Amino acid sequence: MNYLAHIYLSGKSEKLIIGNFIGDYVKGKRYLDYPEEISKGILLHRQIDTFTDKHWCTKEAKALFRDEFGLYSGIVVDFFYDHFLAKNWSDYSSVTLRTFAKRIHAILLSNFTILPLRVQGFLPFLIQNKRLESYATTDGIVQSLKIMGNYSTLPSKSAEAKIILENNYQLLNNYFEEFMKDMIEFVRSEYEINFILPVENNNNSGHRSTPKVP
């Protein structure tokens, strides 16, 4: 999963959000260099990645991209999972994606000195370009994939990825929804993160009330 999903699955704790956000940039036992709650967020990030890779929906989704991306197909799926989360945001949160993103930006900026140097380097760009919100559109998420292809070993095949996404859009959306249901239950049980989905509130009360959300 990419930035948006990792942050979302962190719940309300600011330190847990920071740890989960920087998880890819803290290797080995370096997580021990951080305060306890941030360390917990880094470990949460790793467990989310492991759960994602092992889930049957992810394996099926990766197969669609394997011919073009090979071993990097999982990274492409991670990006598109963020797209479906952003696109279907009202199913997962009672606040708008814009409101959520602004809160995350404020948290990261207020803890800027704690962030690894690489994260400090790209954070202003992420905020200025409203990257988390841009994931909600196909063009926005493909642009993010293109940027990563320009600065990493990920094959620069964003156009091909877009075609595969569009040709399998509903199937991938279904994979995401099934996967996300299981992922949320995993995070709830393993980390006791308390958030209630809007759809759960509707089912339990017969009307929409204000849920506890990240």
- How do residues 110-120 score in pLDDT, each as one tens digit? 999 999 999 99
d(CA 81, CA 180): 9
The structural domains of the chain, with segments of one domain joined by +, span 3-205
So what's the pLDDT on residue 71? 93
Residue that has been written with the tokens 């998420």 in this structure? 141
Regarding pTM above 0.85, the answer is: yes
Q: In the predicted model, what is the mean pLDDT of residues 22-34?
A: 95
Per-residue model confidence as pLDDT tens digits over 146-161? 988 887 888 889 999 9
Tokens matching residue 207: 């009307």
- Rounded CA-CA distance 82/145 in Å is 11
pLDDT at 201: 54
- Whole-number pLDDT of residue 152: 80
Can you tell me the distance from the alpha carbon of 113 to that of 79, in angstroms, rounded to the nearest whole number? 27
134 within 8 A of 143, measured Cβ to Cβ: yes
CA torsion through residues 92, 85, 96, 18, sign: positive
The answer to whether the beta carbons of residues 16 and 41 sit under 8 Å apart is yes
Find, among 85, 76, 87, the residue nearest to 146 by Cα.
Answer: 76
Rounded to an integer, the average pLDDT of 52-74 is 96
Mean pLDDT calculated for residue range 173-183: 97
At position 153, the amino acid (one-letter code) is T
pLDDT band at 203 (very low <50, low <70, confident <90, very high): low
Sign of CA dihedral 59, 64, 67, 68: negative
Mean pLDDT over each residue of the chain, to the nearest integer: 91
